[in-house]
Amino acid sequence: MFYLKYRPKTISELDNTRVRDQLRKILESKDFPHAFLFVGQKGTGKTSAARIFAKAINCLKRESIEPCNRCVNCLAIASSSFTDVIEMDAASNRGIEEVKNLIRETSFLPMSGKYRVFIIDEAHMITADGFNALLKTLEEPSPSAIFILATTNLEKLPKTIQSRCVKVNFGKGLKTDIISMLKRIDSHEKVNYQNDFYSLIAKHSDNSFRDAAKILEEVSMQRIKTVAELETFLGIRGKSNLLEIIESKDNKKTFIWIEEFAQNAGNFKNLIEDVLEELRIQLLIKKGVIIEDEKITTLTLSEISRLIKLLMEAYQLLRSSPIESLPLEIALTEFYNQLEIRN
Ligand SMILES: Nc1ncnc2c1ncn2[C@@H]1O[C@H](COP(=O)(O)OP(=O)(O)O)[C@@H](O)[C@H]1O
Ligand SMILES: [Mg+2]
Ligand SMILES: [Zn+2]
């Protein structure tokens, strides 16, 4: 599977740029902290980065900051057979007993490595008792113990635990970073897709590197070649261009498009949600809050905000409307009418 085959093995292969730079700095410093908190949505590289980190600090032939991925330590960590790297999934081992066992382990000196690394996944699932027990260990860890707590849910982690860890924010996968990952995979797999192809996959990956890698794998297996085929595969055929048609401000074209969408049993709820999401991104781009390589709309800021208001009303009306397309048609009629009054 692509997402396992191309799991990053070095810091420089981490396509999450923010994380890559932060981990680099940490590994370059002589005296790095002993407890880390990796925070971020699923599929953003927390587990991958934790293993790379464990390798880097235990590598026997480490050059610069990167693990060599060839020495016995690196190989053992890669195959999960290294006794000094202990992974615990707190989703299934959340109680005081499991945490106590883990703490007991921290008192042992490393056997083959320089550090014993404790990776606790889904750390927010640990019980209150468990956290209390862990807290003391985090306050005075043995010099050879390193803790990496990974979580998708920072708010559920006690402040006391948070304050004893150095936080590394994986956030959500940025579209540009996800595209870099897809291209990295492609350089090995030689599927040779165009940029707009990757851009579309990245947009529909739920900001997850893992999901994007899975989509790429399926799409290449099914020998999907054109953007149109990809749109069909992603279930978004046609949806993406309603906004483009609105931009053209062509009344007739717009209503023909909606009619066809209705004829093809399109889902108006999803359609309006998608267009609203796109408009929100455009709003943030215009406000300079995000800089994405999205296509920038020709609509003005006030047109965008008016459209958002009208489409939100249409969205509300969907449930009570006897005809599904009607709320959207009314909203766009109003939008175009106001344009005419202004011009
Ligand atoms: N930063 C990244 N750079 C490149 N690929 C990534 C990155 N993060 C995740 N991936 C891909 O997603 C898969 C799952 O990542 P993982 O580290 O398990 O994420 P998490 O632990 O945050 O859910 C990896 O095997 C890899 O294919
Ligand atoms: Mg993980
Ligand atoms: Zn090594």
- 77 CA to centre of ligand 3 in angstroms: 9
Rounded Cα distance, 176 and 198, in Å: 10
- 5 CA to centre of ligand 1 in angstroms: 11
End position of a domain, from candidates 171, 199, 226: 171
Do the beta carbons of residue 82 and residue 73 sit within 8 Å? yes
Q: Are residues 229 and 250 located together in one domain of the fold?
A: no
pLDDT at 71: 96
Q: Are residues 120 and 51 located together in one domain of the fold?
A: yes
Do the beta carbons of residue 99 and residue 90 sit within 8 Å? no
- 79 CA to centre of ligand 3 in angstroms: 13
Nearest atom (ligand 1) to Cα of 42: 23
pLDDT at 148: 97
Residue 313's domain comprises: 239-342
Among protein residues, the one whose CA lies closest to atom 8 of ligand 1: 45
Among protein residues, the one whose CA lies closest to atom 25 of ligand 1: 7
Ligand nearest the Cα atom of residue 73 = 3
Among protein residues, the one whose CA lies closest to atom 16 of ligand 1: 45
Among protein residues, the one whose CA lies closest to atom 9 of ligand 1: 45
pLDDT at 270: 79
pLDDT at 296: 82
Q: Are residues 66 and 48 located together in one domain of the fold?
A: yes
Cα–Cα–Cα angle for 216, 184, 296, rounded to 5 degrees: 70
Residue 63: strand pairing partners: 66
Nearest atom (ligand 1) to Cα of 15: 3
- 6 CA to centre of ligand 1 in angstroms: 9
Q: Are residues 110 and 148 located together in one domain of the fold?
A: yes
Rounded Cα distance, 187 and 179, in Å: 12
Rounded Cα distance, 209 and 262, in Å: 34
Q: How many domains does the chain have?
A: 3
- 74 CA to centre of ligand 3 in angstroms: 4
Q: Are residues 43 and 165 located together in one domain of the fold?
A: yes
CATH of the domain at 247: 1.20.272.10
Mean pLDDT (10-residue bins), the chain, 343 residues: 94 94 93 93 96 96 91 95 94 90 92 94 94 91 93 94 95 94 94 89 92 94 88 68 87 90 79 89 87 78 95 95 95 91 65
Q: Are residues 275 and 195 located together in one domain of the fold?
A: no
Strand-strand pairing, 35-40 and 85-89: unpaired
- 53 CA to centre of ligand 1 in angstroms: 14
| Phi and psi, residue 39, nearest 5° | -115, 130
pLDDT at 238: 55
CATH of the domain at 37: 3.40.50.300
- In the numeric block, the tokens 């717009």 are attached to 254
Q: Are residues 264 and 164 located together in one domain of the fold?
A: no
Which residues form the pocket of ligand 1, taking CB atoms under 6 Å from any ligand atom?
Answer: 3-4, 6-8, 14-16, 40, 42-48, 181, 209-210, 213
pLDDT at 11: 96
pLDDT at 342: 64
Q: Are residues 180 and 81 located together in one domain of the fold?
A: no
- In the numeric block, the tokens 């085929």 are attached to 229
Among protein residues, the one whose CA lies closest to atom 27 of ligand 1: 3
| Ligand 1 probe mutation, 3, 210, 211, 216, most atoms within 8 A of CB | 210
Radius of gyration of the chain (CA): 25
Ligand nearest the Cα atom of residue 185 = 1
Q: Which amino acid belongs to residue 331?
A: A
Q: Are residues 65 and 52 located together in one domain of the fold?
A: yes
Ligand nearest the Cα atom of residue 3 = 1
Q: Are residues 293 and 153 located together in one domain of the fold?
A: no
Q: Are residues 32 and 18 located together in one domain of the fold?
A: yes
Angle at which helices 17-28 and 46-58 cross, to 10°:
20
Q: Are residues 138 and 20 located together in one domain of the fold?
A: yes
What residues does the ion ligand 3 have nearby, CB within 5 Å? Answer: 59, 67-68, 71, 74
